[in-house]
Structure 1
Amino acid sequence: MNRLRALYDRLIFPHPLLVLAVFGVLLALAALRFHEFRLDASAESLVLENDRSLEQYRQINRRFTTSDDFLVVTYTPGGELFSEDGLARLASLRDELQALDAVGSTNSILSVPLLHSPDLTLDTVDSEIKTLDQHDVPPDTARQALLNNPLYPNLLISEDGRTTAIQVNLPTPDRYFELLRARNDLRDKASAGNASEAELAELERVQQAFIDYTETLGVERDATIRTVRDILDKYRNHAEIHLGGVPMIVADMIRFIENDLSTFGLGVLAFLLLTLAIIFRQWRWVLVPMLCCGFTVWLMIGFLGWTQWPVTVISSNFVSLLLIMTLSLTIHLIVRYREFQHDEPQASPRETLRNTVMAMIKPCFYMAITTIVAFGSLTFSGIRPVIDFGWMMTLGLTVAFLITFLIFPALLTLLPPPLDSHVSANRVPFTDAFARFTERFGNTVLVGSAVIAALCVVGLTRLSVENSFIDYFKPSTEIHQGMITIDNRLGGTTPLDVVITDDPPPEGAGGDPFASDCDPFVQDCGTGEEYRDTWYTYQKMQELEAVHKYLDGLPETGKVLSINTTLKLLAKINEGEPLNALELAFVPAAVPDDLQDVLLTPYISEEHDQARFSVRILETMPDLKRDALLDRIRNHLTTELGYDQDQIMLAGMTVMYNNMLQSLFDSQIKTIGVVFVAIMLMFLILFRSLKLALIGIAPNLIAAGSVLGLMGWLDIPLDMMTITVAAITVGIAVDDTIHYIHRFKTEFRKDGDYIATMHRCHRSIGQAMFFTSLTIISGFSILVLSNFIPTIYFGLFTGFAMFMALVGALTLLPRLIVLVKPFGSEGASGLGS
Structure 2
Amino acid sequence: MNRFRTLYDRLILPHPIIVLSVFGLLLALAAVKFGQFRLDASAESLVLENDRSLEQYRQVNRRFTTSDDFLVVTYSPGCELFSKQGLSRLRSLRDELQGLEAVGSTNSILNVPLLHSPELTLDTVDSEIKTLDGDDVSPETAREALLSNPLYPNLLISEDAGTTAIQVNLPTPDRYFELLRERNTLRDKAEAGNASEAELQQLEAVKASFIRYTETLGEDRDATIRQVRSILDQYRDQAEIHLGGVPMIVADMIRFIENDLSTFGFGVLAFLLLTLAIIFRQWRWVLVPLLCCSFTVWLMVGFLGWAQWPVTVISSNFISLLLIMTLSLTIHLIVRYREFQSDEPEASSRDILLRTVMAMIKPCFYMAITTIVAFGSLTFSGIRPVIDFGWMMTLGLTAAFLITFIIFPALLALLPPPLDKRADSDRVPFTDAFARFTERFGKTVLVGSAVIGVLCAVGVNKLTVENSFIDYFKSSTEIHQGMITIDNRLGGTTPLDVVITDERPPENSATEGDPFASSCDPFVEDCGDAEEYRDTWYTYQKMNRLEKVHRYLDSLPETGKVLSINTTLDILAKVNQGKRLDALELAFVPAAVPDDLKGILLTPYISEEYDQARFSIRILETQPELRRQALLDRIRKHLTTELGYDQDQVLFAGMTVMYNNMLQSLFDSQIKTIGMVFLSIMAMFLLLFRSIKLALIGIAPNLIAAGSVLGLMGWLGIPLDMMTITVAAITVGIAVDDTIHYIHRFKTEFEKDGNYLATMHRCHQSIGQAMFFTSLTIISGFSILVLSNFIPTIYFGLFTGFAMFMALLGALTLLPRLIILIRPFGPGNAL
Structure 2 distance, partners of 1:808, 1:129, is 74
Structure 2 distance, partners of 1:697, 1:157, is 59
Structure 1 distance, partners of 2:620, 2:774, is 44
Report if aligned partners of 1:183, 1:203 keep a CA contact under 8 Å in 2. yes
Q: Secondary structure at the match of 2:805?
A: helix
Q: Secondary structure at the match of 2:500?
A: strand
Tell me the residue number matched to 1:200: 200
Q: Measured at CA, do residues 43 and 5 of structure 1 come closer, stay the same or move farther in structure 2, by a change above 3 Å?
A: same
Tell me the residue number matched to 1:401: 401
Matches within 5 A, 1:505-524: 505-506=505-506, 509-511=509-511, 513-520=515-522, 522-524=526-528
Tell me the residue number matched to 1:219: 219
Tell me the residue number matched to 2:790: 788
Structure 2 distance, partners of 1:581, 1:562, is 19
- Give the aligned residue type for 1:397: L
Structure 1 distance, partners of 2:722, 2:671, is 14
Tell me the residue number matched to 1:304: 304
Report if aligned partners of 2:522, 2:583 keep a CA contact under 8 Å in 1. no
Tell me the residue number matched to 1:642: 644
The structure 2 residue matched to 1:586, chosen from 580, 585, 588, is 588
Structure 1 distance, partners of 2:653, 2:741, is 50
| Deviation by residue 1:387-407 (Cα, 9 ceiling, x = unmatched) | 111100100010000000000
| Deviation by residue 1:128-157 (Cα, 9 ceiling, x = unmatched) | 111000111110110000000000000000
**Mean Cα deviation higher: 170-179 or 44-53:** 44-53
Tell me the residue number matched to 1:482: 482
Alignment pair present for 1:184 and 2:184: yes
Q: Displacement, 1:525? A: 4.3
The structure 2 residue matched to 1:547, chosen from 533, 546, 549, is 549
Q: Displacement, 1:513? A: 4.7
Q: Displacement, 1:518? A: 2.4
| Deviation by residue 1:140-177 (Cα, 9 ceiling, x = unmatched) | 11000000000000000000000000000000000000
Tell me the residue number matched to 1:157: 157
Alignment pair present for 1:817 and 2:819: yes
Report if aligned partners of 1:513, 1:525 keep a CA contact under 8 Å in 2. no
- Give the aligned residue type for 2:686: L
**Mean Cα deviation higher: 485-494 or 775-784:** 775-784
Q: Secondary structure at the match of 1:616?
A: strand
Q: Displacement, 1:674? A: 3.2
Tell me the residue number matched to 1:736: 738
Report if aligned partners of 1:695, 1:817 keep a CA contact under 8 Å in 2. yes
**Mean Cα deviation higher: 673-682 or 654-663:** 673-682
- Give the aligned residue type for 1:797: F
Tell me the residue number matched to 2:680: 678
- Give the aligned residue type for 1:289: P
Matches within 5 A, 1:683-698: 683-698=685-700
- Give the aligned residue type for 2:98: Q
Report if aligned partners of 1:69, 1:247 keep a CA contact under 8 Å in 2. yes
Q: Measured at CA, do residues 723 and 119 of structure 1 come closer, stay the same or move farther in structure 2, by a change above 3 Å?
A: same
Q: Displacement, 1:579? A: 1.0
Structure 2 distance, partners of 1:782, 1:814, is 32
Structure 2 distance, partners of 1:320, 1:249, is 24
Matches within 5 A, 1:154-553: 154-424=154-424, 429-506=429-506, 509-511=509-511, 513-520=515-522, 522-528=526-532, 531-553=533-555
Structure 2 distance, partners of 1:55, 1:670, is 28
Tell me the residue number matched to 2:122: 122
- Give the aligned residue type for 1:600: L
Q: Secondary structure at the match of 1:717?
A: coil
- Give the aligned residue type for 1:639: T
- Give the aligned residue type for 1:182: E
Q: Secondary structure at the match of 1:620?
A: coil
Q: Displacement, 1:663? A: 1.1
Report if aligned partners of 1:505, 1:526 keep a CA contact under 8 Å in 2. no
Alignment pair present for 1:43 and 2:43: yes
Q: Would you say how many aligned residue pairs link Structure 1 and Structure 2? A: 827
Tell me the residue number matched to 1:143: 143
Tell me the residue number matched to 2:558: 556
Report if aligned partners of 1:518, 1:525 keep a CA contact under 8 Å in 2. no
Report if aligned partners of 2:53, 2:657 keep a CA contact under 8 Å in 1. yes
Q: Identical aligned pairs, as a percentage?
A: 84
Alignment pair present for 1:771 and 2:773: yes
Q: Secondary structure at the match of 1:630?
A: helix
Q: Displacement, 1:189? A: 1.0
Report if aligned partners of 1:69, 1:169 keep a CA contact under 8 Å in 2. yes
Q: Displacement, 1:589? A: 1.1
- Give the aligned residue type for 2:402: L
| Deviation by residue 1:707-729 (Cα, 9 ceiling, x = unmatched) | 11111111111111111101111
Report if aligned partners of 1:463, 1:717 keep a CA contact under 8 Å in 2. yes
Q: Secondary structure at the match of 1:241?
A: strand
Q: Displacement, 1:524? A: 2.2
| Deviation by residue 1:603-627 (Cα, 9 ceiling, x = unmatched) | 0001000000001111101101111
Q: Displacement, 1:516? A: 4.6
Structure 2 distance, partners of 1:779, 1:277, is 13
Q: Displacement, 1:510? A: 2.6
Tell me the residue number matched to 2:622: 620
Q: Displacement, 1:517? A: 3.8
Report if aligned partners of 1:381, 1:387 keep a CA contact under 8 Å in 2. yes
**Mean Cα deviation higher: 531-540 or 252-261:** 531-540
Structure 2 distance, partners of 1:828, 1:794, is 45
Structure 1 distance, partners of 2:257, 2:268, is 15
Q: Measured at CA, do residues 383 and 275 of structure 1 come closer, stay the same or move farther in structure 2, by a change above 3 Å?
A: same
Q: Secondary structure at the match of 2:701?
A: helix
Q: Measured at CA, do residues 619 and 428 of structure 1 come closer, stay the same or move farther in structure 2, by a change above 3 Å?
A: farther
Tell me the residue number matched to 2:803: 801
Query: Normalised by the size of structure 2, how large is the TM-score?
Result: 0.98
Q: Displacement, 1:675? A: 2.2
Report if aligned partners of 1:280, 1:426 keep a CA contact under 8 Å in 2. no
Aligned-residue Cα RMSD (Å) equals: 1.2
Q: Secondary structure at the match of 1:509?
A: coil
Report if aligned partners of 2:366, 2:688 keep a CA contact under 8 Å in 1. yes
Q: Secondary structure at the match of 1:187?
A: helix
Tell me the residue number matched to 1:662: 664
Report if aligned partners of 2:157, 2:165 keep a CA contact under 8 Å in 1. yes
| Deviation by residue 1:578-635 (Cα, 9 ceiling, x = unmatched) | 1111111111111111111011000000100000000111110110111111011101
**Mean Cα deviation higher: 594-603 or 531-540:** 531-540
The structure 1 residue matched to 2:707, chosen from 705, 708, 728, is 705
Q: Displacement, 1:193? A: 1.1
Structure 2 distance, partners of 1:729, 1:327, is 16
Q: Displacement, 1:804? A: 0.6
Report if aligned partners of 1:739, 1:765 keep a CA contact under 8 Å in 2. yes
Q: Measured at CA, do residues 426 and 87 of structure 1 come closer, stay the same or move farther in structure 2, by a change above 3 Å?
A: farther
Query: Normalised by the size of structure 1, how large is the TM-score?
Result: 0.98
Q: Secondary structure at the match of 2:674?
A: helix
**Mean Cα deviation higher: 493-502 or 421-430:** 421-430
Q: Measured at CA, do residues 428 and 184 of structure 1 come closer, stay the same or move farther in structure 2, by a change above 3 Å?
A: farther
- Structure 1 unaligned spans of 5+: none
Structure 2 distance, partners of 1:513, 1:111, is 39
Q: Secondary structure at the match of 1:314?
A: coil
Report if aligned partners of 1:744, 1:761 keep a CA contact under 8 Å in 2. yes
- Give the aligned residue type for 1:401: F
Q: Secondary structure at the match of 1:423?
A: coil
Tell me the residue number matched to 2:93: 93
Q: Displacement, 1:273? A: 0.7
- Give the aligned residue type for 1:649: L
Structure 1 distance, partners of 2:517, 2:263, is 76
Q: Displacement, 1:658? A: 0.9
Q: Displacement, 1:507? A: 7.3
Structure 1 distance, partners of 2:424, 2:161, is 74
- Give the aligned residue type for 2:61: N
Q: Displacement, 1:787? A: 1.2
- Give the aligned residue type for 2:590: P
- Give the aligned residue type for 1:725: V
Report if aligned partners of 1:368, 1:398 keep a CA contact under 8 Å in 2. yes
Report if aligned partners of 1:324, 1:779 keep a CA contact under 8 Å in 2. no
Matches within 5 A, 1:76-87: 76-87=76-87
